[in-house]
């Protein structure tokens, strides 16, 4: 954990009116507490992370640099004078700080809205701690309302779309300027709706085995250990257990929804017999 003085985040009477961007700024600044002086920091991708990168520039002389999960973050870091190391040069990172499109009460996440999920998962896997920074709208009971991103090899996309259709979900190729978006790795992104992911670990395990899937946007094996959540009352810190099915702090239980069970059974190849 960082040795920087911990930032205080007292409630403020006007915070109820804070915009989503203002909440992102708060959690981006709060994440500095988890930066270890003299270390290389793992840095994610997205609008919330951009606020963290801007805050990190203020202590850039106290760190060696960063490992970045995307071209966009690399460019932002370098523009602010922060050295960026290749992931292969750094066997282990003390902390990885990134946002989420959704995070549940166990620390499981959906990520990939910025199309950087593969590199994000790689950097997260090399880090001892994952600190998720998000505003309170991202905290959900069950993953799946946000379209689930998958990075896929283009020739496999039609078949994978069909596999999701078979379990009642809808997958579409993400477009940019009317043509398929190409990731930093030269692949395409599918966005999947109609899912309620009651068992993220099992879902990630199974879908990752589908031929042509590069990365599933469910982060269950690379879950968060800490979430800094921007709320109307200030920054709320939630600590998750390292155990996959227990919480050190739990606001309320996660309930498995029937559709999640159905999607999971069918993803595992079981025949649904309900009418």
- CB contact set of 51 (below 8 Å; sequence gap of 6+): 24, 25, 27, 28, 29
Could you identify the residue written with the tokens 């997205």? 46
Query: For the whole model, what pTM was predicted?
Result: 0.82
83-119 tens-digit pLDDT = 999 999 999 999 999 999 999 999 999 999 999 999 9
Query: Mean of the pLDDT values across residues 33-45?
Result: 97
- Binning pLDDT at 50, 70 and 90, where does residue 52 land? very high
* Cα–Cα distance list, 210 to 15, 157, 187, 193 (Å): 45, 11, 16, 18
Residue 275 has pLDDT above 90, yes or no: no
Residues in the chain: 275
Residue 15 has pLDDT above 70, yes or no: no
> Considering 102, 120, 151, 204, which one is annotated as catalytic?
120
* Residue bearing the bigger pLDDT, 260 or 37: 37
120 a catalytic residue: yes
pLDDT of the residue at 210:
98
203-232 tens-digit pLDDT = 999 999 999 999 999 999 999 999 999 998
CB-CB contact of 100 with 166 (8 Å): no
Give the domains, in start order, of the chain with CATH numbers.
15-267 (3.40.50.1360)
Angstrom distance (rounded) from CA 2 to CA 15? 27
Joined tokens for residue 246: 């227990």
Of 97, 128, 95, 98, the residue nearest 3 (C-alpha): 95
Residue 123 has pLDDT above 70, yes or no: yes
pLDDT of the residue at 12:
47
pLDDT of the residue at 193:
98
53-83 tens-digit pLDDT = 999 999 999 999 999 999 999 999 999 999 9
CB-CB contact of 34 with 97 (8 Å): yes
CB-CB contact of 241 with 250 (8 Å): no
Q: What is the dihedral of CA 132, 133, 138, 140, to 10 degrees?
A: 40
Angstrom distance (rounded) from CA 29 to CA 102? 20
pLDDT of the residue at 17:
62
Strand blocks (E) in the chain = 40-43, 65-68, 84-85, 96-98, 102-103, 109-110, 130-135, 148-152, 170-173, 175-176, 179-180, 188-193, 213-216, 218-219, 226-231, 234-239
Residue 185 has pLDDT above 90, yes or no: yes
């Amino acid at each position: 954990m960082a040795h920087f003085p911990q930032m205080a985040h007292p409630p403020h009477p006007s915070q109820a009116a804070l915009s989503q961007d203002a909440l992102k700024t708060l959690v981006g600044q709060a994440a500095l507490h988890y930066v270890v002086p003299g270390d290389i920091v793992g840095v994610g991708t997205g609008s919330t992370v951009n606020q963290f990168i801007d805050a990190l520039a203020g202590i850039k002389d106290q760190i060696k640099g960063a490992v970045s999960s995307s071209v966009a973050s690399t460019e932002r870091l370098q523009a602010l004078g922060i050295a960026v190391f290749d992931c292969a040069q750094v066997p282990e990172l003390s902390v990885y700080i990134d946002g989420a499109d959704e995070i549940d009460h166990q620390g499981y996440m959906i990520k990939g809205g910025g199309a950087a999920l593969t590199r994000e998962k790689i950097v997260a896997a090399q880090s001892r701690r994952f600190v998720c920074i998000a505003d309170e709208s991202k905290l959900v009971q069950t993953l799946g309302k946000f379209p689930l991103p998958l990075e896929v090899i283009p020739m496999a996309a039609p078949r994978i779309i069909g596999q999701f259709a078979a379990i009642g979900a809808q997958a579409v190729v993400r477009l940019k300027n009317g043509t398929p978006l190409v990731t930093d790795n030269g692949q395409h992104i599918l966005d999947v709706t109609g899912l309620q992911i009651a068992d993220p670990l099992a879902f990630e395990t199974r879908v990752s085995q589908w031929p042509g899937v590069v990365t599933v946007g469910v982060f269950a094996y690379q879950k968060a250990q800490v979430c800094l959540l921007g709320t109307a009352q200030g920054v709320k810190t939630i600590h998750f257990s390292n155990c996959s099915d227990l919480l050190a702090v739990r606001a309320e239980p996660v309930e498995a929804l029937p559709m999640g069970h159905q999607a999971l059974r069918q993803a595992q190849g079981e025949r649904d017999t309900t009418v």
